[in-house]
Structure 1
Amino acid sequence: MTRFADPHRCPDCGAPIRAGLPSCGICGLPLTGEVAQRLYQTLLTADGLLIELRASGALATAARTATAPAPGALQPTPMPPGVPGQPGPPAAGTPFPAGPVPPRPRSGLSAASVPKILLSLGAACVLVAALVFLAVTWSLMSIGARTATLVVLTLVCAALSGFLARRDLRGGAEALSLVAWGLLCLDLYGARDAGWFGDVGDPTFFLVLGVVLAGTGMAAGVLVRRTPVGALTGAELVAGLGTAAACIGVATQPSLADPAALVLATLLGAAVVAVAERFALRMTVWTAGLVTLASWAGLVGSGADAASGHLSMAELWIDLVAWPLLAAAALAAAVAAVRRLPRAARDAAAAVGFGLLCLVAAAPALDESPTTLLLATLGVLVAAAVVGWAAPPCWRPTAFLAQGVAGLVAAGFALGSVVAALTNLVAAATPGWSSTAGAPLRLQDFGDQAAPLLLPVTLAVLLGTVAVVLRALPEQLPIGRHLDPRAVAAVLVAGSVTVLGLYAVPVWTVVATLLLVAAVFLAWWWLVDGSLVTLVPAALFVAGGVAVSFANPSLTAAALLVTLVLAAVVHLRAAGTETAAVAGATLVAALAGSGWTWAHLGGLDPAWGALLTLVVVAAVVLPVHTLPAGLWVCGDSLVARAGVEVGAAVAALPLATAGILLAPGSQTLTWTAVYLTVVGATVTALGLLRADRRWLLPVGGLLLAAASWVRLFEIGVEEPEPYTLPSAVVLAVVGLLHLRRNPGGSTATALSPALGLALVPSLLWALSEPAGIRALLLGLACFGLVLVGVRLRWAAPLAWGAAVGAVLVLWLSAPYVEAAVPRWVLIGIAGAVLILMGVTWERRLREARHLAGYLHGLR
């Protein structure tokens, strides 16, 4: 049923629209405002009038019909205008109404799909029949008969299509119009075959065919608007296909050079697009636009191919070898000047045109040295930055394409230089402490590269490009519009320092430069802003200086000393708690590294050097909590001091590992025990000195126990008691102190760890050996624990003593029971126990069923 006020389609082009759109996405028709409200109200009025006409026609037909309708037949009920179900006019300032959500379509073929399928098949059959007819009868007919046959068939199909269009039968009109155009193509092919066009080649014939199809298709698309159908999609598509054929014919003309032919094809396609846009033939606009774009892309490809073999400045500009690229840029600029196009399309066209100009300008450098190519790329970036900065705000995106491509090329050169410099520095630092401080860097062979001094310049140009792009972005985007000058300075300084890695300079100059720059940034952080933007670069420069200093121990000692001082300053003066804590950890790590390095410089054995460094770290960590909180600027000095402790824990592991690995093979276990003792004593002392670190006491005790175990293993002790009893005694003392402070506490929690550690290993050992003194002493200990548990009413000693003692007694008495008791007695006892368990289970199950029945019977 026809509906004028269709909220789901544009009232101009008929394209689908969604709720909330201010304008049609296809034709751009505004859907808001007073005029849109008046149009929608007018269309609603037309719908109401149409319903009244239908109702009056139905009543007149019913009055003239003598027979009554069949029982149960559904009668159409006319809907007067203004009924509640009909959408009302849109509110002022709101988008064109979207209407109610349509019901979900059913699966399978709809009623409208069947005629479309039938018409498509019918049109195909008619075309096939025409082809067969012409193939069979063509040679039998005269020229006049042929002409009459072709023209009559074409005109008949065209006339029938127009007739169906006037009867509002769009499907039939579409099908027959396509048949008519198919016959028209056959007409043209037949005329060519008969020699009516003379001796024309394929390009000229394609041009004629395309012009005819494009002209007739657009004419039909315009004329059909006078009929109820309103539009023929097939006509618009035929016009687009005709444009493609015409452009192919122009582009392949043998009398024209390839670039010139492609320029003409592009202009022809653009002309068709303009005409189709003028008459609102949307499908033709899209298809012809794609053809135009393809022709333009072919022009660009042809120009690039021609320029690739003539890259000198004279050939490109004086001999005009690059004129196809310049023509393509001019065509893109012409598209950008069309005001009716969307803003995004105009910006894209302008960006493409400017990008092609930049490509032509930089093309002579493509076959030159990397330095020349990089300079040309930087020139493109500078030119694009000037355009992006000086252009009006609406045209600033013009430089985006050139900036993106040239920026990637420049970034690739910069990345290559950075990788080469880092590789040279890593080669100088490895293997560690194997070079002199004045030894030059060993430069690696990376082939032909750009000049190293261009690295800072490249970084500066890239940063400027980023600044211009940020300025040109829309203000609606949630990003900053400016670069932080501190970050820019850090990047430029880093690039300048990296240049040193590309020359054969002494290693100490690189280390000194990195540490000096770090000190400058740290002073900036301390005296000016106190921001992480300046502190993080300082930390990175320090890390780089320490890494490069591994080439020589003296350089490492100096670098770690500077790191120690800088970390101490940050640790004490940082306002942020987390920053102070991280600096504290770095401080202790630098102290540990310095101790190890100075021990190496002093000729000390590595094992003794590790021990000395561990002692120094412990001496620094333990008294930190006694210092006044006023030394730290941050609000929470406890967290800052915790960073020192974390740094000590992190530094202890590599120190001890290095000492163990570098110790003589016969003393490995000895030094392991020594390091465990020092670390365990430090952790235990820290837990005793600080009330908030009591949880470290078990850790320290475990480390000390591990040290004693390693030492016992070294001297060949195999019995478990020397390993377990000392720790069990300590745990028992701790448990007893806990019970003393908490008289109501559980003995199982307080004493079970100590009792389990003291009894279980000895029990396992006693079970695996013949009865002897160990079993006797273990039994006496269990008996004593039972007595203590009974006397003091403590569950833990009673349970542990009874359980371990029972297992020990059963194990020791098993041989005697086996000899004294017959086998059948044991079997009988087992059977009796199983029967008793089964009876008990059955009884409990019956009681559960009775209980369930009782509950079920409750009301």
Structure 2
Amino acid sequence: MPCEVTRPTLQGMTHTPPPAEELRLLDAELWRLDARRAHLLVRRAQLVGALQSAQRVQPVSPTPVGPSRPEATAPGVQNVLLLLGGILLTIAAMVFTLVSWGHLGIADRALVLGAVTLTALGTPVVLLRRGLRSTAESVAGLGLALTVLDTYALHEVTFTAADGMTYLATASTVLSAVWVAYGSALAALPAATPLRLPLPAALVVAQLPLLLWGFATGGGPHTITAALLLTAAFDTVVALRVSVPSVRLVAVGGAFGTGGAGVLTTGLLSLSATGPSAAARAAALFLLAATIALGAAWFTPRPGLATGSATVGGLLLATGAGGVLRTWLPGDWLVPAYLACGIALLGGVRGALPEPVRRGVVRASAAVQAGAVLWTLPAVGVALLGPASWVWRAWSGAPADARDAATADALWPPYSATVPLVLAAVAAVAALAFRGTERHPRALTVALTLTWAAVMVIPPALELPYTVGLVLYGVAATALLGPVTRTATGLALLTSLCLGFLSLAAEPATLAVLASLTVLFAAAAWRRRLAPVSAAASLVYATGLMCAVGASLNWQPQHTALLVLVVPVAAALIAPRTADPAVTAAVEATGAGAGLLAVGLAIADPPLLALVLALCGVIAAGTAVRPGRRPVGYAAAVLFLAATWVRLAAWDVATPEAYTLPVTVPALLVGALRRHRDPEASSWTAYGPGLAATLMPSLLAAWGDAHWTRPLLLGAAALLVTLLGARHRLQAPLLLGGSVLTLDALHELAPYLVQVTDALPRWVPPALAGLLLLALGATYEQRLRDVRRVREVLGRMN
């Protein structure tokens, strides 16, 4: 805030002093503040220095070393000790039972067994009441292990005649029940924390009874598999109903383990079934497994687990039903049978199912359909890629049928006659299943692709006649060009490629197919069905048609090149009449590619190559006339130049000027035109390339020429260029002409200079060079002095 200084008056009132007085007072106050601040800064520096000095002289006391950090916690040490103690006691009991058992009588044996087991099982009760839960866990584990040893001892003494498998099944049943009762009794103690070991251990033992009873009763594979699945069902119920985390964890592991083993065994039984009866029994096991999975999905509160279980259940249902149908159908219908079962799953989602279960069943159906589509890929690949092998055996004769045409260098997959049916069925499901949803457009794209694949596989799968296959592919390509979609157009291109390769088997087919494809894609481009792609495809097939016509007429490749040039001409005429820049670019690029092909075909015949290059230059020049295509003129010039060079080479012309002058003259004309339009343009840019194109090759030729004509003409030309450069004050002609003139003169005087050099003493050449340099320096200095005088005169005039 601004500071206002007031002072009292005689009347006791205050007023603001004049500005000059107030400014004086403010300056005085600021001066006092600056002085006080300077004093405080000095004192601060003194205190900081004193503290730093005290720290430098203060001895450094050693850092006290505290006790090392323990590497194990007290509860961890306790648990390890208790675990080791329980293990050692269990080992001791095993040694006693196996080794020292025979030294005691029957009464002593019973007394020892009962006393030790009851003591081990009863001690945890006392320990739990005193709060020693970990110790109680160890002792309880010892007691459970002793019960297992008791069952072994009873078998060795009392039940020696019992069947081993039956005794194991009975013992496992009894032990699991006793351990459950024991764990439940300990959990029921007042003010006692339940033990974690007995109930999970009982559930682990409970995995054995059904399986062991199955073996004990002499059950076959189906019985053993049923025992595994029922055990998995029991584990699933326990996992869903019991809230103890340790018990639930064991139950989930048991359900996955026994259930997975049961499903794997069921799958093997289904695959090995040779009759309807065996397949039906395997299907019943699949149904049991599916019921378990779907029941778990229905009652589990976790949506992700419910969806996964429902997916597994749906797959099991489809697999079981497909296994029954497999025994009634031939090999070609195996995959369609499983596919039908997978599609039938979609009918079950219309009921009152929870959303996670519904989602899982839909995923199961999708998985079956995806597997069926994967099964079709080998046949689809052969149908699409196999015709390409006709490129190497073109016009060798039409094959017997469409399968022979597709498998000229490949093998047709076995049991693939129903591939079109599988693809069509999945396409129908994709088109109908997502109606009214946001994924319907993508589903329609998938359905279109699958339908196209089915159509492409029909001729080789059904072994249709060769001509019928060509017609079917042509109809498919025509139909695909109807929808205005990228997918449809791309599939149409693939179909046309396959059709074109197949047509190479016979000459009439090749001509007819290429002509039809040219017209088809031209019509599609005219109707703006993705016109850039269609127009380019039409010109590509037209190029192929020209090559086929030339081959049909028994023309040599160099003569066929003239026929191929029809395509660049057509492209040059069509491009200006298109309204879409993308179409124009596509047409021009395709025409350029056809021109390159023509050049490649004519490369073996230099005279015809020169003609082809000249015609390409005419086409490029005609294109360069259009607005926006001026840079094509450079390509036209290059083509004309190449045509000239090829023609000269064909005439065995070895004179370099014959090759360089056609470059120099147009280049100089262009340079002169540029200088006329832009007087500031550099002479190096305008005339340098054109002059160098002729002078440099001629100079090289002159140095190797023993006659006088070429050096004389080159010297005259270089002198003329030098004089023109000096006349118009242009660096490029002056320096290039002068350099060439000098080198040409040196070439002519070289023999005489050598003679003179040999005749003169060795000090003469350096002396002459030095005098020349001195003369040049003096002349240069004289010029600088003259310039300086002129500048002084002008300065005085100003």
Output the CA distance in 2 between the equivalents of 1:808 and 1:228. Answer: 120
Alignment of 1:495-644 (within 5 A): 495-496=454-455, 498-502=457-461, 507-522=466-481, 524-525=482-483, 530-574=484-528, 579-601=530-552, 606-614=557-565, 616-624=566-574, 627=577, 632=578, 637-644=580-587
Whether the 8 Å CA contact 1:157–1:180 is kept in 2: the answer is yes
Output the CA distance in 1 between the equivalents of 2:767 and 2:133. Answer: 99
Q: Which letter does structure 2 place at the counterpart of 1:702?
A: V
Whether the 8 Å CA contact 2:125–2:186 is kept in 1: the answer is no
Among 707, 712, 731, the alignment partner of 2:667 is: 731
Question: 1:670 maps to which residue?
Answer: 607
Alignment of 1:165-564 (within 5 A): 172-195=135-158, 199=162, 201-202=164-165, 204-205=167-168, 208-209=171-172, 211-212=174-175, 215-216=178-179, 219-220=182-183, 223=186, 232-235=195-198, 237-246=200-209, 248-264=211-227, 266-268=229-231, 270-271=233-234, 274-275=237-238, 278-314=241-277, 316-317=279-280, 320=281, 323-337=284-298, 339-364=299-324, 366=326, 369-388=330-349, 392=353, 394=355, 395-397=357-359, 399-400=361-362, 403-404=365-366, 406-407=368-369, 410-411=372-373, 414-415=376-377, 417-418=379-380, 421=383, 431-435=393-397, 442=404, 450=415, 452=417, 454-467=418-431, 480-481=439-440, 488=447, 491-492=450-451, 495-496=454-455, 498-502=457-461, 507-522=466-481, 524-525=482-483, 530-564=484-518
Among 595, 598, 601, the alignment partner of 1:655 is: 598
Among 677, 696, 717, the alignment partner of 2:653 is: 717
- Percent identity (aligned): 24
Output the CA distance in 2 between the equivalents of 1:458 and 1:110. Answer: 64
- Pick closer, same or farther for the CA change 1:647–1:390 going to 2, 3 Å: farther
Residues 202-227 of structure 1 deviation map (CA, whole Å, 9 limit, x = unaligned): 55336524652575368548846979
Residues 634-658 of structure 1 deviation map (CA, whole Å, 9 limit, x = unaligned): xx53332222211101222223323
Whether the 8 Å CA contact 2:238–2:251 is kept in 1: the answer is no
Matching of residue 746 in structure 1 with residue 746 in structure 2: no
Residues 650-679 of structure 1 deviation map (CA, whole Å, 9 limit, x = unaligned): 222223323446xxxxxx222222222221
Whether the 8 Å CA contact 1:596–1:609 is kept in 2: the answer is yes
- Pick closer, same or farther for the CA change 1:815–1:333 going to 2, 3 Å: same
> Relative to structure 2, which stretch is displaced further, 553-562 or 408-417?
408-417
Whether the 8 Å CA contact 1:732–1:755 is kept in 2: the answer is yes
Q: Which letter does structure 2 place at the counterpart of 1:591?
A: A
SS at match of 2:680: coil
- Provide TM-score, normalisation by structure 1: 0.68
Whether the 8 Å CA contact 1:428–1:441 is kept in 2: the answer is no
Question: 2:29 maps to which residue?
Answer: none
Question: 1:93 maps to which residue?
Answer: none
Output the CA distance in 1 between the equivalents of 2:432 and 2:194. Answer: 48
Once the two structures are TM-superposed, the CA of residue 138 in structure 1 deviates from its matched residue by 4.0
Whether the 8 Å CA contact 2:470–2:502 is kept in 1: the answer is yes
Output the CA distance in 2 between the equivalents of 1:669 and 1:142. Answer: 117
Structure 2 residue ranges without an equivalent (≥5): 1-63, 769-798
- Pick closer, same or farther for the CA change 1:610–1:441 going to 2, 3 Å: farther
Question: 1:80 maps to which residue?
Answer: none
Whether the 8 Å CA contact 1:247–1:265 is kept in 2: the answer is yes
- Pick closer, same or farther for the CA change 1:160–1:486 going to 2, 3 Å: closer
- Pick closer, same or farther for the CA change 1:268–1:535 going to 2, 3 Å: closer
Question: 2:617 maps to which residue?
Answer: 680
- Pick closer, same or farther for the CA change 1:739–1:543 going to 2, 3 Å: same
Residues 453-481 of structure 1 deviation map (CA, whole Å, 9 limit, x = unaligned): x4543222112343576579xx8xxx714
Output the CA distance in 2 between the equivalents of 1:231 and 1:655. Answer: 92
Matching of residue 694 in structure 1 with residue 648 in structure 2: no
Output the CA distance in 2 between the equivalents of 1:735 and 1:109. Answer: 91
Q: Which letter does structure 1 place at the counterpart of 2:503?
A: S
Once the two structures are TM-superposed, the CA of residue 808 in structure 1 deviates from its matched residue by 6.7
Question: 1:794 maps to which residue?
Answer: 730
> Relative to structure 2, which stretch is displaced further, 356-365 or 219-228?
219-228
Structure 1 residue ranges without an equivalent (≥5): 1-71, 75-105, 662-667, 830-859
Output the CA distance in 2 between the equivalents of 1:232 and 1:764. Answer: 105
Q: Which letter does structure 1 place at the counterpart of 2:657?
A: E
- Pick closer, same or farther for the CA change 1:251–1:777 going to 2, 3 Å: farther
Output the CA distance in 1 between the equivalents of 2:531 and 2:575. Answer: 15
Whether the 8 Å CA contact 1:251–1:261 is kept in 2: the answer is yes
Output the CA distance in 1 between the equivalents of 2:712 and 2:134. Answer: 108
Output the CA distance in 1 between the equivalents of 2:707 and 2:130. Answer: 116
Whether the 8 Å CA contact 1:656–1:675 is kept in 2: the answer is yes
Q: Which letter does structure 2 place at the counterpart of 1:587?
A: S
Output the CA distance in 2 between the equivalents of 1:164 and 1:803. Answer: 114
Question: 1:856 maps to which residue?
Answer: none
Whether the 8 Å CA contact 2:169–2:216 is kept in 1: the answer is no
Output the CA distance in 2 between the equivalents of 1:785 and 1:226. Answer: 121
> Relative to structure 2, which stretch is displaced further, 377-386 or 193-202?
193-202
Whether the 8 Å CA contact 1:389–1:468 is kept in 2: the answer is no
Residues 675-728 of structure 1 deviation map (CA, whole Å, 9 limit, x = unaligned): 2222123223322x1231222222222222222222333333344333333223
Whether the 8 Å CA contact 2:173–2:209 is kept in 1: the answer is yes
Question: 2:17 maps to which residue?
Answer: none
Count of residue pairs the alignment pairs up: 696
- Pick closer, same or farther for the CA change 1:230–1:793 going to 2, 3 Å: farther
- Pick closer, same or farther for the CA change 1:398–1:531 going to 2, 3 Å: closer
Q: Which letter does structure 1 place at the counterpart of 2:338?
A: T
Output the CA distance in 1 between the equivalents of 2:559 and 2:364. Answer: 63
Output the CA distance in 2 between the equivalents of 1:567 and 1:805. Answer: 62
Output the CA distance in 1 between the equivalents of 2:76 and 2:761. Answer: 94
